[in-house]
Structure 1
Amino acid sequence: MSRTADPGPTAPDAPDEPDEPDDEPAEHLRFAAHLRSLGATRPDDEAGTVREVLADPDPVMARSAVLRHLDRRAAGLLPDPGFDEWSASMAGAVDGDPLLTRRLREWDLLRSVTLARAWSTEDLDGASDWLQRKVSAESRSPRALAFLAVHGRTRRIRNAAAAGLREAPTRQDAGPPAGDAG
């Protein structure tokens, strides 16, 4: 007896396509709308827009949108002289949120390491895995790389920092990475 493949549900009974906008959860739509709003805001309105997003009824989603925005903006502004003013403005906007406040402090520390400003090994030692990974993968600072090669929190961080030390002359000769200045 030959069997034919089950054709599956017919069109009227088939479930709607999952990527149709009507099927997208409301928080996903708001997340995308928040990212668009944050990305389009003028610098002088940015702190207010961040506060508006953080007032969303879903605090986890709102924090996630603001965190992504902070990471994008900080990465773009890292070598820019306006970074410090921007960071201070954002610190006021996210005051009271420990995660966002810490991420801003870590961007400030990354800026100090990147621009060869004053920073302490204690600050780098107490930094999140995120920052230690970022510094070990992207930094040209022999001091930061040497510290993380020995004291990095994870094997991945220590190995990346050690590799960065071996590549340090190549990294320095290649010129500053995107977003690096001075």
Structure 2
Amino acid sequence: MVVLNKIYTRTGDSGATALGNGARVAKHSARVEAYGTSDELNCFVGVARLEATGETDDALSRIQNDLFDLGADLCRPDMEADKDAEYPPLRMTAEQVDRLEAEIDIMNAELDPLRSFILPGGTTLAAQLHVCRTVARRAERLAVLLSEQETINPVAVKYLNRLSDWFFVAARMANNGGKDDVLWVPGANR
């Protein structure tokens, strides 16, 4: 359980922050960049939820919770120490990736195949989901960079990779099942 009685602590005033295991690192470290970007993504998902309804809103709610799980995973280094931790650290699981894949397959079955790249836009929700897609890709790139420097849970990278695909397909669904996708016309303004 998390209890936050005081929001500011002044412990980060020097440019360092605490990780999930208590270690202090620079706020610009690869690990903080990775989980900070997943937090940024969560905020954009919250904005998208302002337009979402029904199953899409339900799915986005699950994704927001997953993104907190992802942040908890990424902020906790040293997976080898997990077995000795007082409380087992929260780690992303293959089941979370599998759920995204199943949801992608269900949505994609309702869409016509793409015959062109699409431009971000269409409905407000679709445009917001495209922003989520690109921020998820950035979070993935940062997690991959972190994985080249330190050991991380490989499922975290898989989750982000699948999540950006989920946002792409969900954006098409938000565009009237793909019928209102904005198609790229190569060289249209030459």
* Structure with greater Cα Rg: 1
TM above 0.5, yes or no, is no
Return the structure number with greater helix share.
Answer: 1
TM-score (norm 1): 0.25
TM-score (norm 2): 0.24
